[in-house]
Structure 1
Amino acid sequence: MLTLTLLRRGAGDPTTRRDGSVLWRTSRMATGPVTYRLHQPHRRLVTAEAWGPGAAEMLDGLPALVGAEDDPTGFDPHHPIVVDSHRRHPGLRVPRTGRVLEALIGGVIEQRVVGLDAFAAWRRLHMRFGDPAPGPAPHGMRVFPTAETWASIPSWEWHLAGVDPQRARTAQACARLGRQVDDLVTAHGRDHAAVVRGLRSIPGVGVWTAAEVGIRALGDADAVSFGDFHVAKDIGHVLAGRPFDDAELAEALERWRPHRQRVVRLIALSPLVRPERRGPRSPRVDHRAI
């Protein structure tokens, strides 16, 4: 289930558990919390079971979740590394969870910080405020908190999780909008640009965060996380032998529109790529010590 690996926020993510060919996940659907178990016995088959009030809704959305609605028609890998990765991963698709608020708050928590620190914050806040997973979920799994819960988390809990006040305010602004955020998908459907405009109208939500939502919740195969600390550099090394800035990244990926996210993922998955990690790294800041 390579398609769904990007939904997991770190090895300790309490909303996701991998057990061989079985993937356990939780989510908060419009109809309530759900635990679901996906099994992929072979490349062309995924079986699913679900428990909790949101089970029926989740199963209705299963095809979109696993990428069945992703249309790679017209995609030309073009570059040798992309061609090779596409050959190695023929079943890779862009998932569409439809859970905009989940992706949005996760993206806000990851803004401008090292992944390990963001993942630790995500885990702590879920263990502290998330509901226990319904059904026979593995021990310790939690469900994404309600919008009301996110909006009411006190400042010291964000601080203890290592989330600075600016990100905390943005996450809570998103949470206060609640159902309106998820309803952007209902209102605009496949018009990803319209959904992104709605997201970016929220103070603190910029290009990077909106793209991260598109990649996970909207099934947007063209979304690119401009502003990411690594994406432009890594793709630049692959395509040109040197790091790119965002403007160069945009120019280089233009030939693959509307499949730019597909290319970004294929490059990241290629065993032929060894991302450049010398030189400056994203600084780690312990906001709990501030």
Structure 2
Amino acid sequence: MTRRLTPPERYAFGASLSSLQAPNGDPCVRLTAGDLWMAARTPDGPGTLHLSKDGGELAATAYGPGADYLEDRADAIAGLRDDVSDFPALAKAHPLVHQLARTFAGLRMPATGLVFHRVLRAILEQKVTGVEAFRAYRMICRKFGEPAPGPMDLVLPPDPAAIAASPYWVFHPLGVEQRRTQALLRAAREAGRIERCAGAAEATRRLTALPGIGPWTAAEVTRVAYGDADAVSVGDYHVPNTVAWGLAGEARGTDARMLELLEPFRGHRGRVCDLLAHGGIGAPRFGPRMPIRSFARY
């Protein structure tokens, strides 16, 4: 069975769904210009969602025991439940934001409703380079994942129970040091409670109550799992500088300065950060970049 969805005018399919796919070969998600394949562990069991562009519509087809769940949420996963009705007025508070809001008017924020998969990615991305984080993510998914339902060659995101039952040393050859591993194991043990959170605020409280998970990780999770347009990644290496540069012409910014500059857009502060990223806004770089490390040989 296929569900037909009507996206908004100028809907940007690839840009809206890009946050669902980890860069450089996500084993669980495949995104092209006109198709999304996403494997998921739903409350009803494993499933795979296929979203495809079909003229001016989207076609949503799902496979496996979790098919009904994924088809019911297909519009949210596509970002079609994202309410931007009050954003154009807020965007006028800054000329660059106003311009970006018009340029990327078809951009929408997905809301998967699936939390642990995003927790896994966010923890692995803590305080390391993207190359390290995404390599570890691919290796963990392939080690713990199982073949996903449907015709596409994908694996299911790791079962949190399997993660929780694994000792620390299993993750070391996969490129994850003890600090991140311990945070991941704690989150896996609490996955049932985390998945049952009613919304972004409750999920943020539960997540940040776990040692090793702070505001940055919680924001990275709620922005995609709940479509939280106000989630700001406080503590990010780049975002404060990007916001300071884009909104005030300042080459460097602190978290406090970033939040001050974003305050006129409350309710959509995370959306503004996303728009700056999609617009290619970036502060000038100074000094060496963070080195890429490997833990596997230790």
TM-score, scaled relative to structure 1: 0.92
Residues 15 and 25 in structure 1, CA contact (< 8 A), matched pair in contact too: yes
Residue 154 of structure 1 is aligned with which of 138, 159, 167?
A: 167
> Where does residue 125 of structure 2 map in the other structure?
110
Residue 100 of structure 1 is aligned with which of 102, 111, 115?
A: 115
Secondary structure, aligned partner of 2:296 = helix
4+ residue segments displaced more than 6 Å:
none
One-letter identity of the residue aligned with 1:249: M
Q: Using the alignment, how far apart are the partners of 1:144 and 1:275 within structure 2?
A: 34
One-letter identity of the residue aligned with 1:244: G
Tell me by how many angstroms 1:274 deviates. 4.5
Partner deviation per Cα, 1:236-263 (whole Å, 9 max, x = no partner): 1212222211110010000100110111
Residue 271 of structure 2 is aligned with which of 262, 272, 277?
A: 262
Residue 84 of structure 1 is aligned with which of 99, 117, 120?
A: 99
Instruction: Report the aligned-residue RMSD.
Output: 1.6
> Where does residue 230 of structure 1 map in the other structure?
238
Between 1 and 2, higher relative CO (CA 8 Å, sep ≥ 6) is seen in: 1
One-letter identity of the residue aligned with 1:77: A
Residues 1:166 and 2:179 are matched in the alignment = yes
Report matched runs for 1:40-189 at 5 Å: 40-41=53-54, 45-75=57-87, 76-78=90-92, 79-137=94-152, 139=153, 141-185=154-198, 189=199
TM-score, scaled relative to structure 2: 0.89
Secondary structure, aligned partner of 2:171 = helix
Q: Using the alignment, how far apart are the partners of 1:37 and 1:269 within structure 2?
A: 24
Distance 1:274 1:244, change over 3 A: closer
Tell me by how many angstroms 1:70 deviates. 1.6
Tell me by how many angstroms 1:84 deviates. 2.3
> Where does residue 9 of structure 1 map in the other structure?
22
Residues 18 and 31 in structure 2, CA contact (< 8 A), matched pair in contact too: no
> Where does residue 244 of structure 1 map in the other structure?
253
> Where does residue 4 of structure 2 map in the other structure?
none
Tell me by how many angstroms 1:275 deviates. 4.3
Q: Using the alignment, how far apart are the partners of 1:118 and 1:124 within structure 2?
A: 10
One-letter identity of the residue aligned with 2:91: P
Residues 84 and 270 in structure 1, CA contact (< 8 A), matched pair in contact too: no
> Where does residue 9 of structure 2 map in the other structure?
none
Partner deviation per Cα, 1:97-119 (whole Å, 9 max, x = no partner): 11111111211111111111100
| Structure 1 unmatched runs, 5+ | none
> Where does residue 296 of structure 2 map in the other structure?
288
Distance 1:9 1:256, change over 3 A: same
Residues 243 and 261 in structure 2, CA contact (< 8 A), matched pair in contact too: no
Q: Using the alignment, how far apart are the partners of 1:133 and 1:208 within structure 2?
A: 30
Tell me by how many angstroms 1:61 deviates. 1.0
Partner deviation per Cα, 1:146-170 (whole Å, 9 max, x = no partner): 1111112332331111101111111
| Structure 2 unmatched runs, 5+ | 1-12
